[in-house]
Amino acid sequence: MTRHLLADDDLTSAEQREVLTRAAALKADRFADRSLAGPRSVAVIFDKPTLRTQLSFTVGISELGGYPVMVDGGLAQIGTRESIADVTRVLTRQVAAIVWRTYGQDRIEEMAGAATVPVVNALTDDFHPCQILADLLTIAEHTGGLAGGVDGAGPALAGRTLAYLGDGGNNMAHSYLLGGALAGLDVRIGAPAGYRPRADLLARAEAIAATTGGSITVTDDPGAAVSGADAVATDTWVSMGQEDEASERLAPFRPFQLDGDVLALAAPAAVVLHCLPAYRGKEITAEVLDGPRSVVWDEAENRLHAQKAVLSFLLDHTGGPGARL
């Protein structure tokens, strides 16, 4: 069976811990895993602007011994000039895996349906699973959770509280819900009315949390979301593709800015996360982003280690024609 990572809950809770364990090991020894030695090639496709995703996948594939084939989505026009299924059939005859940063979740699901090699979601409008794995690794590093790996089961995050302030309906919020629930976290989403998570995804997260000991809270009170939290995250108020809404979003989102007063409500040792790019003075102040509790640069580095671990895991758990590439 070909394994993909299209949404956070494509991994079980145990598999998520396995991926995080691999990521921590690769951070300790960057060249310990050569899953793509040959080199085997991986297609990395971008329909949206990128910096960290392009950098971390390119470097990561190379460090696994492989060769990253960068595909310009604007030139390829996947789904416009040529059907997604036909593009996928071509790619899977030549590469060991496909990484795609695109718009609709339906696009990457269609590709996975036609693929015989692993497909990795490098961001869609609905989910950003690679970013959340990097965030979980970062939280574990800074809250002592890596010690849970001593028993071989992987980082222990259960019982910690993650608060997210911002657009509850964007891809980061949705992935925090699913990925955080899998890790057994108490996930709190603080979002303005009208910007809540999608109801079906909220139900999925609540169902997962019921099996892992986590919990899910959605509130329009930013102070209630952050109170006592071990990690506080935020994201831009205007995601890619929403630029026309920028001015109308300022007023409802302003109370959800992560500033010093809001952060003071969190646990004394709470860490601050931001997936970047950050807009100082809007969703986060410079005082907080550049302050001593910010771990955003560790978080950015951990994209590399988490994504290498994802590729290694998917290749190890994939059989059939794709396994021969």
Q: How many CB atoms lie within 10 A of CB 278?
A: 20
Task: Kindly list the catalytic residues.
Answer: 101, 128, 131, 235, 275, 303
d(CA 313, CA 3): 9
Average pLDDT on 153-168 reads 90
Average pLDDT on 181-207 reads 97
Query: Which structure tokens are listed for 268?
Result: 């004394």
The answer, yes or no, to whether residue 149 has pLDDT greater than 60, is no
Confidence of residue 46 (pLDDT cuts 50, 70, 90): very high
pLDDT in tens, 228-282: 999 999 999 987 777 777 788 899 999 999 999 999 999 999 999 999 999 999 9
Q: How far lies 124's CA from each of 34, 106, 171, in Å?
A: 28, 9, 7
Average pLDDT of the chain, as a whole number: 94
d(CA 134, CA 273): 10
pLDDT in tens, 280-289: 999 999 999 9
Residue 147: per-residue pLDDT: 65
Q: How far lies 12's CA from each of 40, 178, 208, 209, in Å?
A: 27, 11, 9, 12
Phi then psi for residue 150, to 5 deg, are -60, -35
The answer, yes or no, to whether residue 323 has pLDDT greater than 80, is no
Residue 153: per-residue pLDDT: 66
Residues forming beta bridges with residue 233, ordered by sequence position: 164, 273
The answer, yes or no, to whether residue 21 has pLDDT greater than 90, is yes
Average pLDDT on 170-188 reads 97
Omega of the bond leading into 277 within 30 degrees of 0 (cis): yes
The answer, yes or no, to whether residue 150 has pLDDT greater than 50, is no
pLDDT in tens, 62-105: 999 999 999 988 888 899 999 999 999 999 999 999 999 999 99
Average pLDDT on 132-137 reads 98
Average pLDDT on 208-217 reads 97
pLDDT > 90: what percent of the chain? 86
Residue 324: per-residue pLDDT: 58
The answer, yes or no, to whether residue 203 has pLDDT greater than 50, is yes
The answer, yes or no, to whether residue 142 has pLDDT greater than 70, is yes
